Structure 1
């Protein structure tokens, strides 16, 4: 491995559901049980709602390493859930309708968030996938953030995995993206003139109470508050670990390409980017979205092909090029998580069949 290749890490959120597929209150118990098992590689974490569990890889250098860790962490959580009569559900939003929201995890920060934000917190029933990519410093991170913004719709399309929600077809490949956007600090970041501008917006949010702490900076891509990384937060939790790793290697390649590019920063207004993200969230990987360079609608496959061509030197240096090409081709041909959800829902006319599909 080239020592100049950027390291990365992946975080995944999951629902813990009962045998029928409804949200449980057992997320904390499942995380604690899985943590107690031997040879856990990575980190298991509690989440905002008691119906959720989170897994995070260690710092990774190769896609094979990330795939091994993500697969192992999912199995650790799934095994802990099974032994307690539950299932681990990798879906961006709950397929089944619930009669009441799950309870907030009894953590002082989460309780404060629930009191301050009300129903936004109580009904925040979404699971995402976050990719951290190493950056030299925050100032460089702002430059990279500005350059990768136009490609956010393509990254959203890759893992779109929340078409069937509350018992019906939403008409969107990623309904999670719209649910999550209710948080005041969520959505696409603007194009920043400097790190000072980034910080001034964060300061304004803190002063207004739109966020309670810096951990609530929920932009689709942001500077991480805990690691020297750029954190991509755009995506649904992927239906499979392989799809999550595809997202990760493309994000890493975009960062590496942006760091090497000394050209002008793309001019793209947030209003236009918001519209492009809407289109990507609606159609997913088998649909169309605006091309980052032209703004014209093109099949997502064509946009992803151009993304791979743009980042090919970085992908090749990291040993990811063949993996990215093969996985993207298979994903477009077979459909993503949202496409698979729709197929089984159309065939069975039951949302619990979607749960069965995803919990496998």
Structure 2
């Protein structure tokens, strides 16, 4: 994700999925599905194992256009779904398991994952979540620190775009992104503070390592962070999206925000982390069709209004990247029809059956 085309920032998308049996319960076949599908995705991304054996991950290559990203996500979802069907299981783009599970899934037999499970106990074994991570190229880490300060207030709005975990454990959680609540149990998760410098960022990470609240730098779980493997800024705030289109909408909005922030020489907003954390709670509860704290006033506004203001702020960057019409259409559709959480809730309400939500979401069913 390091290459750039002209002045347009490149980006990439990572999606995590559950692998479930025909009834919708978590399966232990995630590793097998990934291994079987790997040969088919050489031309459009990379497949990876995840923390539990009930998960699979797909990562796009470097993308320059939203159309390229859409093709890659659709292709990887198709390949994973086909591999899952051949094994009698299904791929589920849900950010939290819809059905109640008697036992947590097994940890993937990987030394790092096994160490995490031993060190963090039930947090690792029961935080069953799937996210959507967006990488956006940045010139250097110092620039990334400045961008983090400017994009922090927009994290609640970004969270609403892919909120997709309303039904979990067999019931309506009352949240559009229940994943965000579950994920927040990790000691390094949540919104990042406004860093004064790269040195301050590194001092916090060093303190975490010395305290044992993270085991390595891969466990820096802030909602937006400096990537440890790529020269990118990584947005980690979103649920895995119900559709590739919603995942790419999140990505182009994140890219637009980064490009806009890089061009801004002013000071970052003075937003206390305690306030931002509360705003993210509200966004996780209400999603795309509810209310969201506005990053400028802090007052509750319809999420569609906040997303409209985000669109207006980033319009020059979106237009320069060829994303403006795509972003307008996506936000209009979210406002009119709702997102993944709204579709989950409507499906569940018909018969009070979480299995209907599984059928709604399951790829290739």
TM-score, with structure 2 as normaliser? 0.98
Deviations 1:212-256 (A, max 9, x none): 000000000000000000000000000000000000000000000
Match of 1:32 in 2: 35
Match of 2:194 in 1: 191
Match of 1:167 in 2: 170
Kindly state the Cα deviation for residue 171 of structure 1 after the two structures are TM-superposed: 0.2
Kindly state the Cα deviation for residue 41 of structure 1 after the two structures are TM-superposed: 1.2
Counterpart-to-counterpart distance in 2, 1:292 and 1:314: 19
Is 1:318 aligned with 2:295?
no
Match of 2:83 in 1: 80
Alignment partner for residue 156 of structure 1, among 151, 159, 170? 159
Counterpart-to-counterpart distance in 2, 1:207 and 1:39: 39
Match of 2:46 in 1: 43
Aligned residues: 360
8 Å CA contact 1:220–1:233 kept in 2: the answer is yes
Is 1:8 aligned with 2:8?
no
Counterpart-to-counterpart distance in 2, 1:263 and 1:229: 22
TM-score, with structure 1 as normaliser? 0.99
Deviations 1:169-220 (A, max 9, x none): 0000000001000000000000101000000000000000000000000000
Alignment partner for residue 52 of structure 1, among 55, 59, 71? 55
Counterpart-to-counterpart distance in 2, 1:320 and 1:245: 10
8 Å CA contact 2:69–2:248 kept in 1: the answer is yes
Match of 1:213 in 2: 216
Deviations 1:278-317 (A, max 9, x none): 1000000000011000001100000000000000000000
Alignment partner for residue 340 of structure 1, among 336, 339, 343? 343
Alignment partner for residue 245 of structure 1, among 226, 229, 248? 248
Q: CA RMSD in A?
A: 0.9
Is 1:357 aligned with 2:360?
yes
Counterpart-to-counterpart distance in 2, 1:197 and 1:354: 44
For residue 308 of structure 2, give the secondary structure of its aligned residue in structure 1: helix
8 Å CA contact 1:8–1:59 kept in 2: the answer is yes
Kindly state the Cα deviation for residue 40 of structure 1 after the two structures are TM-superposed: 4.3
For residue 311 of structure 1, give the secondary structure of its aligned residue in structure 2: helix
Residue ranges of structure 2 left out of the alignment (5+ in a row): none
Match of 2:227 in 1: 224
Alignment partner for residue 130 of structure 1, among 130, 133, 136? 133
